[in-house]
């Protein structure tokens, strides 16, 4: 057993625990990516790190919402402005990378590869949160959906800035 916000007790394998635990995992992967970039220098790194700092903070808000039992007040709520900010970052960084004509293989620089992993963990967080049902805020679901798209574009940006060519998927 473990405790949710407000002290409610649930089983460790409860879907709420899985959801906020997976959110924490995604947050940690973003931290790993930022760590891999620590010694690297490229144009736009400072702004990207600021975006990641804000995103990591917002993921604590997502975790708080997922760990708050139904009917209780969520102390750290996400807003539509948080989702809109992700949309703006997606547009901004999408303009800085070449348009894709094919699927690409996840990988590249360790920072870019970690962002690809973070993207897949965010997708899992979203799927888990959806399985909770109507008690999950639509804003949380929208944030997770847009975050995975931002992480994809950010991974591409980092790999390009650090000189790692994207590997296209070729069908056999």
pLDDT tens for the 172 residues of the chain, in order: 988 888 789 889 989 999 999 999 999 999 999 999 999 999 999 999 999 999 999 999 999 999 988 888 888 889 999 999 999 999 999 999 999 988 999 999 999 999 999 999 999 999 999 999 888 999 999 999 999 999 999 999 999 999 998 888 876 6
Asked whether residue 172 is assigned to any structural domain, the reply reads no
Q: What is the pTM of this model?
A: 0.94
| Residue at 171 is within a domain | no
Question: Does residue 169 sit within a domain?
Answer: no
pLDDT of residue 172: 60
What is the CATH classification number for the domain harbouring 65?
1.20.1200.10
pLDDT at 105: 93
Distance separating alpha carbons of residues 66 and 21, to the nearest angstrom: 9
Any residues with CB less than 8 A from the CB of 126 and at least 6 apart, and which?
A: 141, 144, 145, 148
Our count of domains for the chain comes to 1
Range of the domain at 119: 2-161
Distance separating alpha carbons of residues 112 and 153, to the nearest angstrom: 10
Residue 9, phi then psi, degrees to nearest 5: -100, 135
pLDDT at 63: 95
């Amino acid at each position: 057993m473990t405790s949710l916000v407000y002290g409610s007790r649930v089983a460790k394998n409860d879907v709420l625990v899985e959801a906020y635990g997976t959110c924490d995992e995604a947050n940690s992967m973003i931290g790993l990516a930022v760590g891999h970039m620590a010694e690297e220098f490229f144009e736009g790194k400072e702004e990207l790190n600021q975006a990641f700092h804000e995103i990591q903070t917002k993921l604590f808000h997502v975790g708080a919402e997922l760990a708050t039992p139904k009917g209780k007040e969520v102390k750290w709520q996400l807003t539509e402005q948080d989702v809109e900010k992700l949309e703006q970052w997606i547009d901004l960084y999408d303009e800085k990378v070449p348009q894709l004509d094919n699927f690409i293989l996840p990988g590249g620089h360790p920072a870019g590869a970690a962002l690809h992993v973070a993207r897949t963990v965010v997708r899992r967080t979203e799927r888990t949160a959806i399985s909770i049902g109507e008690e999950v805020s639509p804003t949380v679901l929208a944030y997770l959906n847009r975050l995975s798209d931002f992480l994809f574009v950010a991974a591409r940006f980092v790999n390009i800035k650090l000189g790692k060519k994207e590997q296209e998927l070729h069908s056999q």
